Amino acid sequence: MFDKLRAERRSFIGMVAVAVSLAGSIGLGALSTPAHAQTRAKEFRVGWQKGSNLAILKARGNLDKRLGAAGVKVTWIEFTAGPQMLEGLNVGSIDFACVGETPPVFAQAAGAALVYVANEPPAPDAEKILVPKTSPIESVAALKGKRVVLNKGSNVHYLLLRGLERAGLSYADVKVVYLPPPDARVAFESGDVDAWVIWDPFAQAAVGQIGARELLSGKGAGVENYNFYLSTSSFSKNSPEVLKWTLEEIRVTGDWVRSHFDEAAEILAPQIGLSKEITGDALRHYGYGVAYPLADKVIANQQAIADAFHALKLIPKKLDVQSVVWKP
């Protein structure tokens, strides 16, 4: 009798253990599935540019699906360049953006309540100083007194700074003209400017279409050229889980691009009016992946950029980059 009771007790305990184990497994699975995840956010507004990594994320639809499963609507808002996108972040029209190194510096200096969320690997080959095919200019030193066009506050602004410094010139030694990429291309082709400081795919397009010559790349100037993902202080505090889910999908997209450059080029080429070949070449100049929180060396690099612009009085005050880094 007692043996039978002990056997039944062991059987019951075993069933309870299995039930607990299954319940635990189901619970963990539910927590890791966005459909069951909890967030207060109902909408996630993403700033994007044609030809960018976020354009690929948008086209593939995986972010919309991931966040939609958690009840969050993704709204995509297009911008022409990084500075304009961060202005959108500053005025509250978007919650998330991806830009190069320099735009966040200008935005922080203007009082934008932004936070650095994550960064991509450096891509120094994705930005260049170009001169026309027939230009007699053969070195950055020869730009002294010449007209150089760039998009103010963009990532290439720092490239020009470092390039001039390495050539023994100061920022005041060149005549800087500020124009967005489409207008800069027109000025460059018409001969109204002597050099163009620009990023890919615009740089690769100028090389491939009109034979522009590369005078200096980011690598030659010793710049890292990081791309940063940014959000607002309020969104990062109120909905950190949305940012984490988004970074996971960006990582998935980056992995896909690395093994599908041709397919990625097919997505972007029609957006920017370039051939698949030129677009593919531009894509290969970028780094893919996402790291957060920002590493000390990345923060130090960004601080050096901010200090350089402050020294030239291009921004009105000294910045503390560390103070606006997201700490999830």
Q: Which of 8-22, 35-49, 124-138 has the lowest mean pLDDT?
A: 8-22
Owning domain of residue 136? 124-221
Residue 25 predicted with pLDDT over 50: no
pLDDT tens track for 85-114: 999 999 999 999 999 999 999 999 999 999
Using the 3D structure, point to which of 221, 240, 260 is the last residue of a domain: 221
Amino acid at 31: L
- Domain co-membership, 99 together with 169: no
Instruction: Give the model's pLDDT for residue 37.
Output: 64
Take residue 280 and report the two structure tokens written for it: 């593919």
Instruction: Give the model's pLDDT for residue 12.
Output: 35
Residue burial 242-267, b: 16+ Cβ < 10 Å; e: rest: bbebbbebbebbbebbeeeeeebbeb
- Domain co-membership, 137 together with 118: no
Instruction: Give the model's pLDDT for residue 38.
Output: 77
* Dist CA 71 CA 193 (whole Å): 50
- Domain co-membership, 68 together with 13: no
- Domain co-membership, 210 together with 242: no
Which H or E element spans position 148? strand 147-150
- Domain co-membership, 101 together with 235: yes
Residue 315 predicted with pLDDT over 50: yes
- Domain co-membership, 58 together with 88: yes
Residue 33 predicted with pLDDT over 60: no
Q: Calculate ∠ Cα 62-67-71, nearest 5°.
A: 145
Write the DSSP assignment of 252-274 as a string of letters: HHHHHHHH-HHHHHHHHHHHHT-
Mean pLDDT of 184-199: 97
Higher-confidence residue of 193 and 155: namely: 193
Using the 3D structure, point to which of 221, 246, 274 is the last residue of a domain: 221
Instruction: Give the model's pLDDT for residue 11.
Output: 39
Query: Count of domains in the chain?
Result: 3
Rg (CA), the chain: 25
- CATH classification at residue 152: 3.40.190.10
Higher-confidence residue of 13 and 156: namely: 156
- Domain co-membership, 320 together with 230: yes
Mean pLDDT of 146-167: 94
* Dist CA 300 CA 256 (whole Å): 30
Residue 232 predicted with pLDDT over 90: yes
Which of the four pLDDT bands, split at 50, 70 and 90, describes residue 156? very high
- Domain co-membership, 257 together with 294: yes
Instruction: Give the model's pLDDT for residue 294.
Output: 97
- Domain co-membership, 252 together with 184: no
Instruction: Give the model's pLDDT for residue 81.
Output: 82
- Domain co-membership, 21 together with 99: no
Per the prediction, the chain carries an average pLDDT of 89
The closest alpha carbon to 292, from 120, 114, 177, belongs to 120
Using the 3D structure, point to which of 181, 203, 221 is the last residue of a domain: 221
- Domain co-membership, 158 together with 286: no
- Domain co-membership, 185 together with 258: no
